[in-house]
Amino acid sequence: MEPHPYSCTIPAEPLHRYRVGGYHPVYLGDFLKDGRYRIIHKLGFGGYSTVWLAKDEELQRYVAVKIAVAEVGLESRELQVLRVLSANISTHSGSQHVVQLLDDFQHAGPNGTHTCLVFEVLGPNIPTVIDARFADGRLPGKIARRVCKHALLGLDFLHQHQVGHGDLHTGNIAFTLPSLDPMPEEEVLKQLPTPEIGDVTRLDGKALGPGVPKYLVWPGSFRISKTTLENPIKIIDFGESFTRDTRPKTLHTPLAVRAPEVIFEDDIDFRVDLWSMGCMIFELVTGQPPFDSLMTTKEILVSEMIQFVGELPERWQRKWALMEKEESTDPDGLTLQLWLEEVYFDDEKTADFTREDIRELGALLRKLLRFQPTARSTTTQVLKDDWFQSPQPD
């Protein structure tokens, strides 16, 4: 593959994806949907979309607009799932912990036709909050337990409608914000860093292609205050989500929280989220996932799973034998409970929970981190667990 001919001073989304089938070039001040949505800042980007803060000129409210790459198509699984959820908003308290789709439309541009999803505006995700506010790399115990409970309630709402999220990790959990709608635009923009803009140029000095933007914008994150941490959370990013009728062959969940049935290319259903939830609860409390996340491989990950969870189901044994490295490390006798206690009661970190709390948490995690999807506790069962009924840590 030849190197792409473009350069930008801002390391935002990859410039080579600005091509037919790729990203839509967006500028501050642009209008979408016949002038209804006006772009005022950038909130994020990923491999398949960019996300923008916009003013809904029709309803006079602030929204987040996610613009998918054109190759995603007009009826993505994400849009199908979000429509199912929007049609089933109910008295279930978990619906308050799932991001709300407000509108969707198609936008034609030089790189194709793009599906645009309009959401409520949310605050920073968990990793952003931890990096900005907590030097020891984890949330205070009281906040961690509340976030776990809210995430479980949201997941319970999804699973009651046979929806799998498919990409559950701390990066897809965001704090809510108080309504921005009454605020003048200049006051809203004060809560974000000034947009950082970098010009795009061709390395050979020639004119840019028709689908390449003149500049990129670095995304901003809303300022974090003490009240931010008191707000509820919502599950976001349904790009990997699916219904009972649209189950995928595989998922691209981060490897460290990926369910074993995905690794072994077995049948997938919504219970992949239960494994990921177990990993996420461990990380929310301790500050790190239960399994290696840096430079890990499937072989290393499965070895750790076996050490903490037990013997693999017989149907996966043959694939594991083919995967396993010749220089396999011998288990060192460390159990999930011992590892949980070792990581949590680190001398350099604040321990808000008691040893009894952590023993109860270990028992909870063992109900989620099970190889057989049907053996994992449901979200409803986990929400009734003793750990959520214990007194809040100081």
Confirm whether residue 66 is marked as ligand binding. yes
Phi first, then psi: give them for residue 40, nearest 5 degrees: -125, -15
Whether the Cβ atoms of residue 7 and residue 200 lie closer than 8 Å to each other? yes
Whether the Cβ atoms of residue 213 and residue 110 lie closer than 8 Å to each other? no
Grouping H, G, I as helix, E, B as strand and the rest as coil, residue 256 is: helix
Instruction: Return the H-helix or E-strand segment holding 379.
Output: helix 379-383
Q: State the DSSP code for 159.
A: H
Q: What is the 3-state secondary structure (H, E, C) of 75-112?
A: CCHHHHHHHHHHCCCCCCHHHHHECCEEEEEEEEECCE
**Termini Cα distance of the chain:** 56
Whether the Cβ atoms of residue 241 and residue 85 lie closer than 8 Å to each other? no
Supply 369's token pair.
């981190």
DSSP string, 290-336: SS--SS--HHHHHHHHHHHH-SPPHHHHHHHHHHS-TTPPPP-S--H
* Cβ burial, residue 358 (10 Å; 0-12/13-18/19+): buried
Distance CA 132, CA 340 (A): 24
Nearest to 90 by CA among 153, 180, 179: 153
Known binding-site residue numbers? 66
Known binding-site residue numbers for ATP? 66
